[in-house]
Amino acid sequence: MRQIDTPEYRHEALFYRGDEEFLAGTLPEVREAVEADAAVLVAMPKDHARVLREALDGYRESVAFADMEALGRNPGRIIAAWREFIRAHAGDEAAPLGIGEPVWPERSDAELVECARHETLLNLAFTHETPWTLLCPYDADRLPDDVLAAARRSHSHVHEGGAVCRSEPYARAIPGPDPLPAPTAEPSVFAYSGSGDLKRLRELTGDRAEREGLPRARVADIVLAVHELATNTLRYARGGGEVRIWTEGATLLVEVADGGHIADPLAGRDLPPPDALGGRGLYLVNQFCDLVQLRSSPEGSVIRLHMRLG
pLDDT of residue 310: 75
* pLDDT tens digits, one per residue of 133-153: 999 999 999 999 999 999 999
Q: Quick one: which of 38, 37, 12, 36 has its CA closest to 26?
A: 12
User: Over 60: is that where the pLDDT of 2 sits?
Assistant: no
Distance (Å, rounded) from C-alpha 307 to C-alpha 247? 9
Q: What are the structural domains of the chain?
A: 9-166 (3.40.50.300), 188-308 (3.30.565.10)
How does 149-174 read in b/e, with b if 16+ C-beta sit within 10 Å? ebbbebbbbbbbeeeeeebeebeeee
Contact status, residue 4 vs residue 33, Cβ threshold 8 Å: yes
Q: pTM to 2 decimals?
A: 0.94
Residue 4: pLDDT band with limits 50, 70, 90: very low
Contact status, residue 288 vs residue 307, Cβ threshold 8 Å: no
User: Over 80: is that where the pLDDT of 305 sits?
Assistant: yes
Q: Quick one: which of 53, 50, 49 has its CA closest to 61?
A: 53
pLDDT of residue 55: 96
Residue 277: pLDDT band with limits 50, 70, 90: low
pLDDT of residue 238: 85
Contact status, residue 36 vs residue 5, Cβ threshold 8 Å: yes
User: Over 90: is that where the pLDDT of 127 sits?
Assistant: no
Percentage of the chain modeled with pLDDT above 90: 86
